[in-house]
Amino acid sequence: MKRLFTIWPFVYTNRCEDDVLYYNTISGDSAYFKNNSAIANITEMLEQQDFFCTIDDNLVEELDKYNFFTILMKKNMGYYRKESFPVKPVSWQNIDIYNTDIILNFKNDEYLLENLRDITFYINNYADVPVYANLQTIHKAHKQFLFPVIESSKSELSFDAIQSVLQKIAPNIVNINILGGNIFNHSQIKSLIDLFNQSLHNIYYHFHYTDLTSKMQQQFFSLIDEDAIKIILIDFPFTENDFQKWKKIINKKNILIKFIVESDIQIIEAENIISKFKLEDYHFQPFYNGKNLDFFRSNVFVSEEDILTVKESLFSLMTKKISNPSFFGKLIVNACGEIYTTINQPMVGHLIDLSLEKIIYKLITDEYSVWRKNKCLVTPCNKCIYNLLCPPISNYEYALEQCNLCHVKCSK
Ligand code: SF4
């Protein structure tokens, strides 16, 4: 007998040739039908008919062989009736994830600045005492995550330049990341700390654990508002004496320790430091040094199981379809005033002729800008059933020069 079939508005479907994924965005349950043309066809039909269709007897019989209806009912993804209706019942999707023309909905540029959610200021690019363990590491790490930059020609952002950016983005509240070199070596650090203390933004200071060398620097640190988040970055080889200078601070409110790790051995070293200093709030940040691909395969690359373990809402899938959440809304200003979306791509502007609206408009309207480039647009992820469930493209993909940091599709 014919069946009337619909899937619930919170179910997301994805097809890749004859592979089909049904994903319940409320429970996180999924059903993956591999290499099944009958299910691929019925899913295509559903997508084209507002997620409601009548299925003929022959096809019902075929689909029953794969327990299609039983599986979807069991996982609360759809509903069927063994009868026909004279008229098609109303069906709808909560969000039209299949029609995501951002430009159509992007007419009013009055609210452009509201798309900004994160600005990073490299307020300088030098340290008085470049005691970093591995200068080579420093230069590359900032291409993968927020990390200090030390360069041979010294530059710093002026107080006025930073203040004018903050005035431009007001009254929107964003995350502000502050990094150096060593930020304590900035010629106007005291005024800058005052400026950030008075601001309503969410302030994040990023220090290298060797930054706190003098009494003066400790005094500057004590001026920072206690609500600001202070992130202390530790890389290897580790010098305990330098870290001891943070001892009174490390377990205070809003302090996060981040270990930059390149190998399993460094993870063990980090665990020893955590235990010795009784650290409470810490995090591991893998660093790709060009030689530790196996470490990345075990610690960063995702498997099908990893992907399906993370529950994604329909809203989050929609966000990933039209943008790249790793980069969207984020800008980086380096110590020379150049503006980037990521240090891995050419600059998008300069503080000298700052028009944030122009920069943001361009980044939003260009489908291939870093803010929008997502896994539906790049090879091989564009042909992968998991492309919206998978973590978005990040700086790691740039560092490893491949988009599929996974065990699903063949990689390096
Ligand atoms: S191929 Fe791309 S989208 Fe598919 S699992 Fe791998 S990284 Fe994710």
Q: Do 208 and 338 lie in a common domain?
A: yes
Q: Do 118 and 186 lie in a common domain?
A: yes
Q: Interior CA angle at 260 toward 254 and 264, to 5°?
A: 125
The total number of structural domains that make up the chain = 2
Q: Is the residue at 316 inside a domain?
A: no
Positions of the chain with pLDDT under 70: 1, 83-110, 129-139, 410-412
Q: Do 77 and 222 lie in a common domain?
A: no
Q: Is the residue at 145 inside a domain?
A: yes
pLDDT digits (tens, 9 = 90+) for 282-324: 999 999 999 999 999 999 999 999 999 999 999 999 899 989 9
Q: Is the residue at 152 inside a domain?
A: yes
Q: Do 163 and 32 lie in a common domain?
A: no
- Is any atom of ligand 1 closer than 6 Å to the C-beta of 408? yes
Q: Do 55 and 156 lie in a common domain?
A: no
| Spatial contact of 40 and 13, defined as CB atoms under 8 Å apart | no
Atom of ligand 1 nearest to the CA of 384: 4
Q: Which of 30, 65, 81 is a domain's end point?
A: 81
- Is any atom of ligand 1 closer than 6 Å to the C-beta of 320? no
What percent of the chain lies above the pLDDT cut of 90?
A: 74
Distance 266 CA to ligand 1 centre (A): 28
Q: Is the residue at 99 inside a domain?
A: no
Q: Residue 411's pLDDT is what?
A: 47
Per-position b or e across 206-241, b if 16+ CB within 10 A of its CB? bbbbbbbbeeebeebbeebeeebbbbbbbbbebeee
| Spatial contact of 330 and 284, defined as CB atoms under 8 Å apart | no
Q: Do 49 and 152 lie in a common domain?
A: no
- Is any atom of ligand 1 closer than 6 Å to the C-beta of 384? yes
Domain extent for 52: 3-81
pLDDT digits (tens, 9 = 90+) for 343-393: 999 999 999 988 899 999 999 988 889 999 999 999 999 999 999 999 999
Q: Is the residue at 348 inside a domain?
A: yes
Q: Residue 26's pLDDT is what?
A: 95
Distance 312 CA to ligand 1 centre (A): 16
Q: Do 136 and 45 lie in a common domain?
A: no
Q: Do 137 and 240 lie in a common domain?
A: yes
Q: Do 134 and 56 lie in a common domain?
A: no
Record the pTM: 0.91
Q: Is the residue at 236 inside a domain?
A: yes
Q: How far is CA 3 from CA 68, 84, 207, in A?
A: 13, 7, 63
Atom of ligand 1 nearest to the CA of 409: 1
Whole-number Å distance between alpha carbons of 408 and 311: 18
Ligand 1: which residue has its CA nearest to atom 2? Answer: 381
Q: Do 192 and 340 lie in a common domain?
A: yes
Q: Is the residue at 89 inside a domain?
A: no
Atom of ligand 1 nearest to the CA of 390: 8
Q: Is the residue at 393 inside a domain?
A: no
Q: Do 253 and 335 lie in a common domain?
A: yes
Q: Do 178 and 76 lie in a common domain?
A: no
CATH of the domain at 241: 3.20.20
